[in-house]
Amino acid sequence: MNKKILVSLAAVVLLTGCQALNGDGTADSSGKNVVSTSTETTSSVEPEKKEPVLPNVSTADWNLLLVNSDNPMDSSREIPLTVLSNGLQIDQRMEPDYTAWMDAAKNAGLSMVLISAYRSIDLQKTVYDQSIQDYLNQGKDYETALKETNAYVAYPGASEHHSALAVDMVDSDWLATGKGLIPEYDQTASQKWLMQTMKDYGFILRFPKSKEASTKISYESWHFRYVGKENAAYIIENNLSLEEYIAKLKEAGK
Ligand SMILES: [Zn+2]
């Protein structure tokens, strides 16, 4: 009789554990599933490795639009754009978070300048061709000019700036030095502040130093990407690139 009580008590405990594991609402209420999961739970009671719970989002969400060389922009996709005070455009759905972030920067004594935001495919072609020309003007041969351009400038159609969710930013002091967009911008107080606060406003550093193999784009300390607060928190806390995060979501059927 005692044995019987113990068994049913164990079942209750295991059932609770199972539900806790499936926090996203995927817990199966059928007894069968609970029993088979319970066996696993029992064997791994001690060394419990906690896999962080993925946010309840979908790879089809507007703020997770992936644009890269493997996923060129669908030119028929309509993006609701809003024009900012300096004439540049971003997706209007990210505007409240972007404005809040820039207001906070101002309050922190920083003077951020938005260098680039939404780019049409035509504009990207101009940027791309200009970059090659700049290298040629520096006396480099065409092959080198093309190689160095491809390291930083996405091929027209493959730029994340087509998504209207990407912003290139430096502060006004840096801009005045004429150094332009170079990785060393990360030595400035403003870039450090952006890195510390981006998560709270739904942004990530899109092309980090440690993720060049995954993003296929060299480290860009000035290029931030809006993904929304929930996604930004997961990506930053788990040290992922956007490509890795989206692959993880897809694997989980999201
Ligand atoms: Zn950029």
Q: What pTM was estimated for this model as a whole?
A: 0.76
State in Å: Cα 55 to ligand 1 middle. Answer: 26
State in Å: Cα 161 to ligand 1 middle. Answer: 6
State in Å: Cα 219 to ligand 1 middle. Answer: 11
Whole-number pLDDT of residue 125: 94
Which CATH architecture is the domain 62-119+159-251 placed in?
2-Layer Sandwich (3.30)
Whole-number pLDDT of residue 212: 94
The backbone torsions φ and ψ at residue 68, rounded to the nearest 5 degrees and listed phi first, read -155, -170
State in Å: Cα 118 to ligand 1 middle. Answer: 9
Whole-number pLDDT of residue 45: 59
CA dist., res. 100 & res. 82, Å (int): 15
State in Å: Cα 123 to ligand 1 middle. Answer: 13
State in Å: Cα 223 to ligand 1 middle. Answer: 5
State in Å: Cα 195 to ligand 1 middle. Answer: 15
State in Å: Cα 203 to ligand 1 middle. Answer: 13
Whole-number pLDDT of residue 46: 59
Whole-number pLDDT of residue 11: 35
From first to last of its 254 residues, the chain has per-residue pLDDT tens of 444 444 333 333 333 333 333 333 333 333 334 334 444 444 555 566 677 899 999 999 999 999 999 999 998 999 999 999 999 999 999 999 999 999 999 999 999 999 999 999 999 999 999 999 999 999 999 999 999 998 888 899 999 999 999 999 999 999 999 999 999 999 999 999 999 999 999 999 999 999 999 999 889 999 999 999 999 999 999 999 999 999 999 999 99
Whole-number pLDDT of residue 174: 95
Phi-psi region of 202 (alpha: psi -120 to 50; beta: other; left: phi over 0): left
Whole-number pLDDT of residue 51: 79
Q: Range(s) for CATH 3.30.1380.10 in the chain?
A: 62-119+159-251
CA dist., res. 227 & res. 91, Å (int): 12
